[in-house]
Chains A and B, each alone.
Chain A
Amino acid sequence: MTDHDPRSAPAWSRLPGPLPVNHAWVDARLWREIAARCHAEDGRLGSLWGSDERPTGSGFVVHAILVSQEGWHWISLKAGDTNPRFPTLSDLFPEAARQERALFDLLGIGSGAPDTRPWLRHEVWGPADFPLRRDRADAPPAARGADPYPFVPVRGEGVHEIAVGPIHAGTIEPGHFRFSVMGDEILRLEARLGYTHKGVAKRFEAMPLATGARLAGRVCGDSTAAYAGAYAMAVEAVSGCAPPPRALWLRALLFERERVANHLGDLGALCQDGGLAFGLTQFGLLKERWLETHRRLFGHRYLMDVIVPGGVACDLDATALGLLESEGTAVLETTRRLEDIVDDHAGLQERFLGAGRLDRAQARALGAVGLAARASGIACDLRALWPSPPYDALGTRVSTRTGGDVAARVGVRFDEIRESLRLIQAILAQLPPGPVCAPCDRAEGLLGLGAVEGWRGRILVAITRARTSGDHHVHIHDPSWQNWPLLERAAPGDLVPDFPLINKSFNLAYSGLDL
């Protein structure tokens, strides 16, 4: 890690890998300047996190990834050894606010942002207990009293609050939603998450990079392939390893199949929440058969451990290719018919249309990514904007809708199923021959970034290594960081009983976010 000169312009260095990522060490002034310039150019914050590099003498380090038209910029700032601080970016990028709060909870690096409420801290860790610090004693945390967590109040005659969760009536993940309502109309919604923090980043530090792939694939069960793929990309970048072409094409096949599986499942759940149980069973059947094919051909219904650093762990023969092709054709046909039914069902459309509306300006201001952004008219898709092989050869058509409501998010899902099925057929037809895995065990580089357009949005995995000690830090970023605040904007004005439908139309991650 080279020292930087705080008075000069940043010294950018291009990182290996398919993405155009430039990295630079910056000081506090440049940190703000570069972020402000990115913001002025309509760029967005990709991710913000920190790591404890005190064993190598760098102190605490804060990293940010900025994504703009001209490419990706990864900036790192040394925040100091004792009482570490860095200038907040949340005034420029609202999506930074919660990441900065989580960063403080994990490492004790303060940002100076006005909102200092805890994010991951749920009455367990002590005030000076920062679990991601490398010198933290491994003692089990002692239970403490309740931390105050003031929600932003809404006052006025007839206004009251409904507190929902973190334990719900159904078997779903924990999240607390605080509604300020007038009768059944939502005036304001604030979510509190972080209930499923389980120390994934800490666990990664103690694991060799090659083994970490198994953990990365288990961060969020519905995006196994995308997470494992992003992790593999990052490991390959620090290992100077190039996976063989066939492996990249097979990975794309897995990404698209995972996308189709999730969209099918979500469409069924959306029909169910709209009261049309017929949709749940029909889409559920399609998804179930799809997952069974995963089990038969890839050994796991949710594709765990199929993507490994260096390539993929399984290959497909001609029979398997034929089977996938015919399955794709059949699913396309059935989905078309179901789409007609959903589109023509007046009662269901009445629920979908106009519910949870998020216009383009709001989505842009909040830094929306992925499916939710596309349903609000923002065509952001890694596969089209920065295509890595084989997407550069395939050419992805990005589906966008302008409605920004539940109907738009349903429409984008249908479009994406069709597009993914088209990509799958193209991949099956053009799959290059050759090996499917390359050795990936030399640790060369210090920084590696992997990014995959998962079904929710872009998933980032950043690996930082220290040359002297060999310690590494893995940061995993789920698109839900950007998209949870969208839900808080989409819900007000709608009715309380419509919230589950709106929530499902985003279907954001809890566990993948809390790590």
Chain B
Amino acid sequence: MTIDLVIRQTLQIALVVGAAPLLAGWIRQCRAWLANRVGAGLLQPYRELFKLLRKEPVVACGASWVFIATPYIAFATMAVAGAIVPMMTSRLPLAGAADVVALAGLFALARIFAALAAMDLGTPFGSMGARRTMLVGFLAEPALLMVLFTPALISGSTSLAIIVRQLARHGFILYPSMAFAAAAFVMVALAENARLPVDNPETHLELTMIHEALNLEYSGPHLALIEWAAAMKLFVYIGIGVALFLPWGIAQGRGLATLPVACALFAMKLAVGGAGLALIETLLAKLRLFRVPEFLGIAFLLAVLGLLVRYLVGH
């Protein structure tokens, strides 16, 4: 492994860990602007993380190791996911370590631990949140896999790095199958990241919560890690979306010279993606909980349509 690859990989992990709160702040700021508010500024998530990290964690008596370990597991899995998704460059040493199926598995691992930890203390809201998270998760996961299989078919590999390289090499080609997959991906990303219309990340009403209910018992640095992991998950998801559907401009070469341009391009794509998410969240109301399966069912259907189009039309 050359020093060049080590630098690329380190940069990428640092970017995901370091810039994820910035993206969360950007989305919140966009939502504030869209609602005619001033907003708290781009750096607010950093201030919140800093505040939480300085506090003492309060752990309920009777909490098992699952409860304590979950924040670290969540943080670590998201960091690993961030390491294997090609964002600025398709030449990542770790990208070959896991393909898209393993990536979906990583997200599932984090979700299962979050649900187990929420049920660990036996509080009603934790169990409720765990139940709802698994409901959303087990519907979103197959849809996500279906979405990922369309570009995998096009490029003939389930490795993200190869998919991205293949797609970026072609230049701008509009695959009808990818349009279906992109629509499905946006829906899955909204559900997986607990965003509107599936979940309201800004609610304080414990009975309506899905993702937030999992975190009610966490405090201090534990909560900081979970919030940070959630921000990283969103970052990685938008990163996957960019890699699959807007890969042009990603650095392909061996040297480091192309990285700054690719990095700037990626930042722009992220900003646009974040603003788009804020727009979606401003325009939509929250779905009734039992409509969520229909919502994800449509996502699954769109993803399957994408696959069929690929088979039938050949694009």
Contact = CB atoms under 8 A, between A and B. Distances in A.
Interface of A: 161-164, 168-171, 183-184, 273-278, 280-282, 285, 345, 347-348, 350-351, 495-501
Nearest to A172: B204
Contacts of A285: 36
Given A285-B36, A347-B197, A500-B205, A162 B286 contact: no
Contacts of A497: 207-208, 288-289
Contact of A496 (B31, B128, B284): B128
A184 B287 contact: no
A351 B285 contact: yes
Contacts of B162: none
Contacts of B124: 161-164
B65 interface: no
B191 to A, nearest CB: 14
Given A275-B286, A495-B289, A162 B208 contact: no
Interface centre among B31, B206, B207 (most CB of A within 10 A): B207
23 contacts: A162-B124, A162-B128, A164-B206, A164-B207, A169-B204, A169-B209, A183-B131, A273-B205, A274-B286, A275-B200, A276-B285, A277-B282, A280-B35, A285-B36, A347-B285, A350-B285, A351-B285, A496-B128, A496-B289, A497-B289, A498-B288, A499-B207, A500-B205
A169 B204 CA distance: 6
A273 B207 CA distance: 11
A277 B201 CA distance: 11
Contact of A274 (B35, B202, B206, B285): B285
Contacts of B35: 277-278, 280-281
B291 interface: yes
Contacts of A273: 205, 208
Contact of A169 (B34, B36, B200, B205): B205
Query: Chain B's interface: helix, strand, loop or mixed, by majority?
Result: loop
B290 interface: yes
B37 A281 contact: yes
A485 B115 CA distance: 35
Contacts of A163: 124
A6 B204 CA distance: 57
B206 A169 contact: yes
Interface string B265-288: 000000000000000001011111
Contact of A347 (B34, B37, B284): B284
A165 to B, nearest CB: 9
Given A162-B128, A275-B200, A348-B285, 17 more contacts: A163-B124, A164-B207, A170-B206, A184-B131, A184-B132, A184-B289, A277-B35, A277-B202, A277-B282, A278-B282, A350-B285, A350-B287, A350-B288, A350-B291, A495-B289, A497-B289, A499-B207
Contacts of B34: 278
B216 interface: yes
Contacts of B202: 277
B196 interface: yes
A175 B172 CA distance: 59
B36 A347 contact: no
Interface string B72-107: 000000000000000000000000000000000000
A184 B290 contact: yes
Interface string B102-135: 0000000000000000000000100010011000
Contacts of B31: 277
Interface of B: 31, 34-37, 124, 128, 131-132, 196-197, 200, 202, 204-209, 216, 282, 284-291
A499 B208 CA distance: 8
Interface centre among A163, A275, A276, A350 (most CB of B within 10 A): A275
A50 to B, nearest CB: 36
B165 to A, nearest CB: 40
Given A277-B35, A278-B35, A347 B287 contact: yes
Contact of A351 (B36, B128, B132, B286): B286
B36 A496 contact: no
A496 B207 contact: yes
A274 B284 CA distance: 9
Nearest to A495: B289
Nearest to A162: B124
A397 B131 CA distance: 48
Contact of B284 (A171, A184, A275, A495): A275
Contacts of A183: 131
Contacts of A496: 128, 207, 289
A172 to B, nearest CB: 8
Contacts of B200: 275
A275 B205 contact: no
A383 B209 CA distance: 40
B207 A170 contact: no
Given A162-B128, A500-B207, A345 B36 contact: no
Contacts of A275: 196-197, 200, 284-286
B206 A168 contact: yes
A260 B36 CA distance: 22
A166 to B, nearest CB: 13
A345 B204 contact: no
A275 B205 CA distance: 11
A500 B285 contact: no
B31 to A, nearest CB: 7
Contacts of B205: 169-170, 273, 500
B206 A495 contact: no
A162 B123 CA distance: 9
B17 to A, nearest CB: 28
Contacts of A348: 285
A27 to B, nearest CB: 48
Contacts of A278: 34-35, 282
A282 B282 CA distance: 13
A274 B209 CA distance: 12
B204 A281 contact: no
Interface centre among B34, B37, B286 (most CB of A within 10 A): B286
B204 to A, nearest CB: 3
Interface centre among B31, B35, B202, B205 (most CB of A within 10 A): B205
B285 A169 contact: no
A214 B231 CA distance: 50
Nearest to B289: A497
A245 to B, nearest CB: 42
